[in-house]
């Protein structure tokens, strides 16, 4: 079954700029292990896909991971970036500051 065929209700991002047709998702997920990061990536990508259905055409999305006070291994952080970046206009880890 295609999850996007289900009615998940409305879509509300943490930040939205209607003028720029842009949405920002902030995820405060535990990224300390590869398994936890995999779960977060699946969630982020699913959320981005759902918002793409709900946003006006041409909309952009960013995903920001609030990873402060976590020990995220460099290889886990790289894996998250490699998988999420192609699906969004921007990706940021709070611990790294501005991208």
C-alpha dist (Å) from residue 96 to 12, 43, 68, 93: 25, 21, 9, 5
Q: Does this model's pTM top 0.75?
A: yes
Predicted confidence at residue 8, as pLDDT, reads 65
Predicted confidence at residue 14, as pLDDT, reads 87
Per-residue tens of pLDDT for the chain, all 99 residues: 776 676 767 667 888 999 999 999 999 999 999 999 999 999 999 999 989 988 899 999 999 999 999 999 999 999 999 999 999 999 999 999 865
Using CA atoms, how far apart are residues 37 and 17, in angstroms rounded to an integer? 28
């Amino acid at each position: 079954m295609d999850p996007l065929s289900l009615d998940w209700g409305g879509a509300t991002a943490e930040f939205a700029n209607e003028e720029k047709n842009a949405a920002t998702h902030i995820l405060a997920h535990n990224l300390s292990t590869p398994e936890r990061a995999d779960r977060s990536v699946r969630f982020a990508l699913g959320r981005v896909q759902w918002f793409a259905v709900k946003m006006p055409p041409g909309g952009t999305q960013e995903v920001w991971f609030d990873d402060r006070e976590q020990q995220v291994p460099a290889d886990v952080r790289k894996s998250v970036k490699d998988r999420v970046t192609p699906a969004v206009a921007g990706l940021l880890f709070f611990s790294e500051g501005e991208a």
